[in-house]
């Protein structure tokens, strides 16, 4: 699948994309290289580049490297609350490979949205200037590690979506079953999300994004997740429905691309 190669590239040290002294540290590079596994399937919308394409086409391995570097650059801009532009991305990230900008930019934008929960929005169409904002209005990343941690909103979007698709109640066993297919497993430390049970049942419950409660009259006791009050305050089911339709539409559009 297209995103496996890109996520593998994220684990490698970042090229010098900015002035000296601002290169990404080893710890962050390792975090970016977390085994996000089947989360790649959420981004099936990005068309693969075949090695059998005509001479001069971009090999998949080279594409993965370019996309990974652009993802890292966009996430850094997000953490620093800085805008970016086509000119900056072309001259700082791609440099000698600017002819591949459209496909690299498209796949990088898809990755930061579907994996990290960050939207790339154009705020100046004339100068093509972009800002990075929390997906669906969720601000769960704002208080993490002084804003320096990797965005976790992508996982929260997945959990809230699963709850919504289960008629507003997400049985715990079904939530963990779905997340395990993405490499997020109970009792196993994740490089981006830490211990997922603590994140879902304590951190996000404490912050008001989720409710975690026993299913009424369940014997033996079973538990379920619901949307919390902060989730309702920051976003809405309507926005999530539109978001899921967009994701499904993109996946359908590219499903039969060779």
The CATH number of 2-136 is which of 3.40.50.1580, 1.10.10.1200, 3.30.360.10, 3.40.50.1370?
1.10.10.1200
Q: Indicate the average pLDDT of the chain.
A: 77
Give the pLDDT score at 62: 84
User: Is 244's pLDDT higher than 70?
Assistant: yes
pLDDT score of 252: 54
> Residue written as tokens 């072309």?
90
Query: Is the pLDDT assigned to residue 109 strictly greater than 80?
Result: yes
Confidence of residue 9 (pLDDT cuts 50, 70, 90): low
Give, in words, the CATH class of 144-242: mainly alpha
| CATH topology identical between 2-136 and 144-242 | yes
Percent of the chain with pLDDT over 70: 70
In DSSP notation, 47-113 reads PP--TTSPTTPPPHHHHHHHHHHHHHHHHHHHHTT--EEHHHIIIIIIGGGGGGHHHHHHHHHHHHH
Least confident piece of the model among 18-32, 69-83, 113-127, 199-213: 18-32
Is the bond preceding 220 in cis, omega lying within 30 degrees of 0?
Answer: yes
Tell me 236's DSSP state: -
Q: How far apart are CA 174 and CA 188, in angstroms?
A: 17
CA distance 192 to 189: 9
Strands laid side by side in the 210-214 sheet: 170-171, 223-227, 210-214
Spell out the domain ranges in the chain: 2-136, 144-242
């Amino acid at each position: 699948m297209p995103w496996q190669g890109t996520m593998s590239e994220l684990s490698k040290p970042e090229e010098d994309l900015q002035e000296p002294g601002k290169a990404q540290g080893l710890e962050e590079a390792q975090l970016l290289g977390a085994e996000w596994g089947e989360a790649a399937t959420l981004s099936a919308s990005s068309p693969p580049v075949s090695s059998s394409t005509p001479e001069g086409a971009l090999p998949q391995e080279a594409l993965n490297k370019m996309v990974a570097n652009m993802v890292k650059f966009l996430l850094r801009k997000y953490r620093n609350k800085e805008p970016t532009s086509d000119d900056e991305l072309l001259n700082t990230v791609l440099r000698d490979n600017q002819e591949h900008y459209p496909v690299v930019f498209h796949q990088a934008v898809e990755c930061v949205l579907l994996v990290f929960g960050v939207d790339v929005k154009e705020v100046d169409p004339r100068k093509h200037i972009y800002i990075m904002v929390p997906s669906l209005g969720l601000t769960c990343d704002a208080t993490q590690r002084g804003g320096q941690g990797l965005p976790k909103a992508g996982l929260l979007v997945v959990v809230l979506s699963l709850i919504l698709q289960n008629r507003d109640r997400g049985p715990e066993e079904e939530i963990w079953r779905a997340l395990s297919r993405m490499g997020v497993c109970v009792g196993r430390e994740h490089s981006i999300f830490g211990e997922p049970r603590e994140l879902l049942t304590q951190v996000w419950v404490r912050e008001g994004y989720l409710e975690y409660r026993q299913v009424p009259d369940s014997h033996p006791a079973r538990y379920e997740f619901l949307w919390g009050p902060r989730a309702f305050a920051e976003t809405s089911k309507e926005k999530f429905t539109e978001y899921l339709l967009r994701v499904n539409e993109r996946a359908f559009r590219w499903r039969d691309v060779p």
